[in-house]
Amino acid sequence: MKSFEYGDEIISSKEFMIALPSMVIGVGVLSLPRDIASNTIGSDGWVALIVSGGISLVMIWLMAKLAAKFPRQSFFSYASIIVSKPIAMFISFLFGISYLFVLAYDIRVLGHTSQQYLFDETPVEIITLIFLFVVVYAVSGSRAAIFRLNVLFLPIILFIALFVLTANFKWLDFSNLMPAFNTDLKGHLKAIHASSLSYIGMSIVFFYIAFVDKPKKAPKLAMIGMVIPVGLYILVYSICLLVFGHTATSHLLYPTLDLAKRIELPGGILERVEAVFFVIWTMSVFTTAVMSFDIAILALNSIFKRIKKMQLIFILSPLCYYIGLIPKNTIQLNVFGNILGTYMISFVFIITISLSIIAKIRRVKSNG
């Protein structure tokens, strides 16, 4: 049986806009309120969320503005024009390996969390392997299908997330907002760093603008798409703080999931709302993992052009599975995530600023 192939790989501007929140909203949404609350005092965490969100919007605009100058050209192609082919090859290779590590982290977090909340008798290795198989199946098909899957999943993810948040309104305690403005500069910087780790997937802009039908609209649409996760993260943190208070939020393992546990629907229609929320979260992690693998393949395939896509998938999949199983427990997994997030944010920041400045100084145009 042959898989269905779309007529072309061109995606609409709307699909590109939806891809950004689909990529960014992932594993971090469960623990983000705890990470911010543990580094701030009272309700001061909103400052870090706004600052990190503002920085991410600036970075997205710079990425999209740069990539839009080279319509229908791959990242490796226009990076070669800006900084020479050997350097572009090295940067593309780093992007490919980096997103392979992001995929490994995503599948391991999902496997670890699923074992804790759903499949306590199933080894985490089996859960992780099964999820990787599903990701491989999705990536093996058309790239355009991935974007159409995002269009299908994102409204469902946002609807359930907003439902969980609004259903907790009756437990809001506004006294939990106090004290305010007591966090020192060091605490704010740590909170900004913690919140910025949730935006590590935004560099997909570099690679996916090449497939957009109207690249001139990409910077504006990228900004709009990025506002969605920024706004959602602020809402999630605020509701967790108002419901649980600062102390409880900073000590809960997954405060967002605990919000879903508090919901009681009238008439006993659905006794465990957190099960539905967990399914929706799995969909979100799935879209993040699929695009991470796709970017890794896209980046490495631009360097090793003789290797076919399926061959690259079969080479990278076992490597990704092995990397994902390196952390042995929750502490090691959190350390792995912090190191990976810090590296990705620093790497993307340096590459974006450097390419933008060099392209401006050299007055590089799309024709090279």
pTM to 2 decimal places: 0.89
Confidence of residue 7 (pLDDT cuts 50, 70, 90): very low
CB 6, CB 135: distance < 8 Å: no
The 10s digit of each residue's pLDDT in 158-194 is 998 888 888 888 888 888 888 778 888 888 888 888 8
Res 368 pLDDT > 50? no
Specify the higher pLDDT residue, 33 or 182. 33
Burial 172-184 (b: 16+ CB within 10 A, else e): eeeebbeeeeebe
The 10s digit of each residue's pLDDT in 230-268 is 999 999 999 999 888 888 888 888 888 888 887 776 655
Rounded-to-integer distance, Cα 104 and Cα 288, Å: 11
Q: What is the pLDDT of residue 268?
A: 54
Confidence of residue 3 (pLDDT cuts 50, 70, 90): very low
Long-range (24+ apart) CB contacts under 8 A made by 181-189 are: 181/42, 181/44, 182/41, 182/42, 182/44, 183/39, 183/40, 183/41, 183/42, 183/44, 183/47, 187/39, 187/40, 187/41, 187/44, 188/40, 188/44, 188/47, 188/48, 188/51
**Cis amide prior to 179 (ω within 30 degrees):** yes
Res 119 pLDDT > 90? no
Average pLDDT over residues 291-295: 92
CA 56 to chain CA centroid, nearest Å: 12
Lowest mean pLDDT among 29-38, 110-119, 294-303, 325-334: 110-119
**Structure token pair of residue 320:** 């990704």
Res 228 pLDDT > 80? yes
Long-range (24+ apart) CB contacts under 8 A made by 326-331 are: 327/108, 330/112
Contacts of 187 (CB under 8 A, 6+ apart): 39, 40, 41, 44
Q: Structural domains in the chain?
A: 13-355 (1.20.1740.10)
**Structure token pair of residue 291:** 């695009």
The residue type at 349: F
Whole-Å CA distances, 221 to 13, 14, 43, 175, 213: 7, 8, 31, 38, 13
Q: What is the pLDDT of residue 350?
A: 92
Average pLDDT over residues 28-36: 86
Res 8 pLDDT > 70? no
Res 6 pLDDT > 50? no
Rounded-to-integer distance, Cα 206 and Cα 75, Å: 6
Confidence of residue 353 (pLDDT cuts 50, 70, 90): very high
The 10s digit of each residue's pLDDT in 55-105 is 999 999 999 888 888 888 888 888 888 888 899 999 999 999 999 999 999
Res 1 pLDDT > 80? no
Task: Quote the mean pLDDT of the chain.
Answer: 85
Specify the higher pLDDT residue, 350 or 197. 350
The angle formed by the CA atoms of residues 330, 334 and 340, to the nearest 5 degrees, is: 145
Confidence of residue 270 (pLDDT cuts 50, 70, 90): low
Q: What percent of the chain has pLDDT over 70?
A: 95
Average pLDDT over residues 189-208: 86
